[in-house]
Amino acid sequence: MAETDLHDSKNKTIVHIKKRNSTIVDFEQSKISNAIYKALVAAGKPDHKLAELLASKLVNKIIKNGYLESIHKDHVLSVEDVQDMVESILIEEGLAETAKAYILYRHERRKLREMKMKILNKKDLDEVDKTLDVNSLRVLSSRYLLRDNSGEIIEGPKQLFERVAILVAISDIIHDSRVYDFHDNHSQNLSEAELYYKKLDDFDNKLKIGSYYFNKYHFEALIRSYIDEAKLGRMKLSFKELLRLIAEGKMSNYGNKITEYYNLMVSNEFLPNTPTLMNAGARLGQLSACFVLDMPDDMYSIMKSSTDAAMIFKSGGGVGINYSDLRPEGDIVASTSGVASGPTSFMQIIDSITDVVKQGGKRRGANMGILESWHPDIEKFITMKTKPGMYENFNVSVGIWSDFWKSLVNKEDHKYSLKNPRTKVNVKNIDSHQLMELIALSAWKSAEPGVIFFDNINKYNPCMNAKGGPLRATNPCGEQSLYPCESCNLGSINLSKFVKRKADGMYEFDWPKYEQSIRTATRFLDNIIDVNKYPVEEIDINTKLTRRIGLGIMGIADLLFMLQIPYDSKEGYEFMSKLAETLSYFSMDESVVISKSRGAFPLFDQTEYKNGDIPLSGYHEIPKDSHYYDWDSLIEKIKNNGIRNSWTTTIAPTGTLSMISDVSNGVEPVFALVFEKRVTVGRFFYTNKIFENVLKEHGLYTDEILIKIANNYGSVRGINEIPEWIQKLFVTAIDIHWTDHIMAQAVWQKWISNAIAKTINMPGDVTVEDVKCAYLLAHEFGLKGVTIYRDGSRNEQVLHITGNDREKRFQVKPSMYLHDYILANIHEPYVLDQVNPIFKDYESSDQYAVTTNTFDNQLEPNSFESNTVSINAKPDSYALTRTENDKEACPVCKNYLIITEGCNMCIECGFSSCGSG
């Protein structure tokens, strides 16, 4: 009988084990050795070989003593049975302290299970629940898991990932070769398919693919996707014939596709953006995070865009709008003989709408407001957020073109013209240097505005002619430029999941596995375009013309920790460059594969792709002998077969996705290795898990060390008890000089087709000149946009890493890689003159000084303290204690907010002011 099948009668090995939820699973000895190893680590005796030896002894003892036959004739060996025996063998082996640690480990695991069940409102945990940590489950339960009308959770993470995977696979079913053909024109009866919209409830959980059942929203997406392709003449069969194939099980092979997408998410190798997790297979059905709307200079269009914005907020997306086409304040309004109120007043309309319309009923919307540098109201726009409480639902950015840049770097003439967008007539001339200094001063004070470099965005834009002009707007976080009424769905690959442990215990990166996940994720995101339920018809049309996707990454800091590569090192930058190039190469290559069977994006023939141009500066600007891949061969495939997606890669903010995956955000270094949390019952510490394991393995994990790190702004730099190699490897955002933050973004930007959401972190005592230099370097490095965050620059700072005993034990300097990169790649004399003071400290150190004749080497040595956080600096934005004059807390859970990737984010519930994660 099944329950007595506990061991192989010949080999005498344990075959099955009963879990706590009474399910029978295969026995895995490695799980015992892992548990013993954790107990050994906790007891200060980390020893992998001893753990494996003890696990083997335990199994042999069970079999040798006839435990299976004599005691468990009537039931399968249980998890609790095995754990009891682990305790016994540890004591028998004279490892009393380890046994004590193991008993404590069991107790903590029991508490953890109970906590998870409470969060999920469940009596038992499934395999997915167990793999996710408590913070991940809290985020999922507060924002993602479906609830009934009473607010009770009605699904777990496993069911969430299943409903997403089923929806994504619908596009694969629609494009089955038995059903779909994009070469010929087929005529089908659309009204027959449309009648099924009235039968959604009748088909709820009736059809299945493999073992997966379609709910009514999956069925609705099937109808919608069929009709979209039938309108284009590409459906070979009627909708009823398609249903017959599904009902007869002839599409059951796509159950494997559903499982593939499901495993990609459950394994934490990839997650799509928040709206997809929220809405896929659910009522709203809107899956995209990023939208851009137009704002023409007439009242009807303004109100139309405002209405569209409301619909986008309701569906879970964020909106970007360029307000530069609106006439300036005080200009004539012919229809009323009055005067215009200007762009900033119309931004207030969107700001108010955002306040009252929650995204998907779960969170407040996010906006990007852009004004280009030539607009007469630009100075008012730049300073409008320096006053607290103004435009709180907006990120704002100044759009810069090459004409402003030429004026800025011109040594002879800094005159720059402001033009009326209505008449195109010059209104007045200003000094471009003064305008840049105003931008820098405002950002120094309030962390806004950001700067968007439209010249860099459009430098390799393949759709300039096809879309009738350049890109002029981005999504709320600035990483996704879009044309008016376009949207983009984003997703992020978790890099920390692509490591293999070698025989010596060290890790190496798994490049083949990375390639396969890139390909699967690319297809996943392309499918979302087809099954998406767009909030506005124009957005549906325009999104499908370019089929833009945004595949990005998260977890880079965790990956570098495991590979023992410092973030801001030559090795770190070169490794990140290869990761970025690989991401774009295989996403584009897979997009070509998809194009062969489904067709290129509709505007392909009108774009520069036909001429062999691609939207990657790395291809155009990095010598071919430095490329890792044969891009010319890929370009030939694109010219011959087309490409499915006009742009394929974007690195978005991954605040909540990173919390679900328990990894670092996007391309950011970790925020802090340790920070303290104080609650009514006491104080405890959050510690980066990889760092915590290293401390334990080297016998360094103590409360005293954690306190010291927390009081050192979450950094190990300058702490004598910490070995130098750990100090160099485990760097945080505050350990990295702000110039190296720009360098890191630039390394990724070379091989990312869209842009990158990253915060350029600056200490509180940097100068306005430093902020200006950050903009200059960002532009010259080829960034498409940049967000500066100086510690102390926002009134609503509420999160602090440090306690009252904070003391910064280190200084931060630019890396030599950055220094050498500037010498080799920056040739603009004005920019070099401006950044020269940053490197003055090198002249009095063992590091190199900048010695190009374009630098002003006669300047007086400048104290490097202006580029560091002094020991007695005021509490920065990372402190974990509330201040009396805090202006804002998390709108969801009223807890703490931090600034990361240019967004406010709550580390408790995962709220983010940006909609891309």
21 is catalytic: no
Q: Which residues, including other chains, have CB under 8 Å from residue 533's CB and lie 6 or more apart?
A: 220, 221, 224, 279, 284, 285, 286, 287
How far is Cα 708 from Cα 691, in angstroms, rounded to an integer? 15
For 220-249, give one letter per residue: b (16+ CB within 10 A) or e. bbbbbbbbbbbeeebbbbbbeebbebbeee
Residue whose structure tokens are 């990737």: 901
Is there a cis peptide before residue 449, judged by omega within 30 degrees of 0? yes
Radius of gyration of the chain (CA): 29
Quick one: how far is CA 797 from the chain centroid?
22
d(CA 283, CA 535): 12
Neighbours of 689 (CB within 10 A): 13
Strand partners, 895: none
36 Cβ contact list (under 8 Å, min separation 6):
50, 51, 54, 55, 86, 90, 98, 102
Q: How far apart are CA 609 and CA 621, in angstroms?
A: 17
The DSSP element (H or E) to which 678 belongs, if any, is: strand 674-679
Task: Tell the residue number behind the tokens 């507060």, with chain if given.
Answer: 142
- The SS3 call for residue 427 is strand
Largest CA distance in the chain: 100
CB 843 within 8 A of CB 849: yes
Strand partners, 358: 364
* Residue 851 CB burial class (10 angstroms; 0-12, 13-18, ≥19): exposed
SS3 537: helix
Distances (CA, A) of 288 to 72, 217, 274: 54, 17, 8
Nearest alpha-carbon partner for 318 in 771, 888, 915: 915
CB 582 within 8 A of CB 628: yes
Which of these is catalytic: 477, 485, 903, 909? 477
Q: CA dist 511 to 241, 570, 575, Å?
A: 42, 20, 12
Our CA angle for 298, 303, 306, nearest 5°, is 130
**Residue 477 known to be catalytic:** yes
Indicate which residue of 479, 668, 676, 780 is catalytic.
479
641 is catalytic: no
Total length of the chain: 917
Q: What angle do CA 550, 553, 559 make, to 5 degrees?
A: 170
Instruction: State the Cα–Cα distance between residues 545 and 844, nearest whole angstrom.
Output: 57
Question: 131 with 266: CB under 8 angstroms?
Answer: yes
- Locus of tokens 């306005």: 768
CA contacts within 13 A on the Cβ side of 625 = 0
Both structure tokens of 442: 């405002």
Q: Which residues pair with 915 in a beta bridge?
A: none
CA distance from start to end of the chain:
50
Of the candidates 110, 769, 122, 752, the one whose C-alpha atom is nearest the C-alpha of residue 492 is 752
Tokens of 525: 């995101």
Strands 24-26 and 507-509: unpaired
How far is the C-alpha of 167 from the C-alpha of 173, rounded, in Å? Answer: 10
Catalytic-role residue among 279, 322, 461, 475: 475
Catalytic residue annotation: 475, 477, 479
